[in-house]
Amino acid sequence: MKFFNQVDLEAMEQRFRTTFINSIAGFKSLNLVGTVDESGKTNLAIFNSIFHVGANPPYLGMVVRPPEVDRHTLQNILDTKVYTLNHVNPQILEASHQTSARYPKEVSEFSSCGLTPKFTQQIIAPYVEESHVKIGLKLVEKIDVKVNRTVIIIGEIIEIIIDEKAIQQDGFVDLQMLESITVSGLDAYYKTILLNRFSYAKP
């Protein structure tokens, strides 16, 4: 076993350290975030920083990197107050990864990466038609993180589009059936296999 202290971490080459720290945290949720600007131009970007905040009301959080360069997703959310989360599946994995490229604001990742925007009456932000789990959210809070200038976006779920067959009697969503995949670091993608479900733990 190798032991790394803080001095060792700081001495690492920058890209190596970034990859190391990004992957050491473990597997993460993987979503395509769909937004639209005030003129109606669609935007799509892959994110691995989505996390559960609460179930009642239903809140999800998302970490956005520091706005030192143009963050089209962040700006669109702040301007329109809505956005979508779309699970990635194996059929759209390569196209989803391609959305991480830095396209100009006037270029839609939907058309550039071969994905299809889908709209509902409830929300102006685009969903990904090919995604098997689609979640629509409205912005409820923006938190500026002082230690590294990242931004946390808190959204309230206002609609969900999902195959009802994947919802079990107790409300559990079978993500394996829906082919949702996960990610380690920034570029390593994995399928998942359910090992077990346990009853509520008590002393």
pLDDT of residue 71: 79
37 domain-assigned = yes
| Contact residues for 91 (Cβ-Cβ < 8 A; gap 6+) | 130, 179
Domain count for the chain, please give it. 1
CATH for 39? 2.30.110.10
4 domain-assigned = no
14 domain-assigned = no
CB 89 within 8 A of CB 131: yes
User: Percent helix, strand and coil across the chain, each rounded to 5?
Assistant: 20, 35, 45
Confidence of residue 193 (pLDDT cuts 50, 70, 90): very high
Average pLDDT value for residue range 164-171: 94
Could you list the residue range(s) of the whole structural domain that residue 111 is in? 26-187
19 domain-assigned = no
Q: What is the distance between the alpha carbons of residues 184 and 163, in angstroms, rounded to a whole number? A: 26
33-86 confidence digits (pLDDT tens): 999 999 999 999 999 999 999 999 999 999 998 876 667 999 999 999 999 999
10 domain-assigned = no
15 domain-assigned = no
Q: What is the DSSP letter of 20?
A: H
79 domain-assigned = yes
Average pLDDT value for residue range 16-34: 93
The answer on pLDDT for 168 being more than 90 is yes
170 domain-assigned = yes
Say which amino acid occupies 61: G
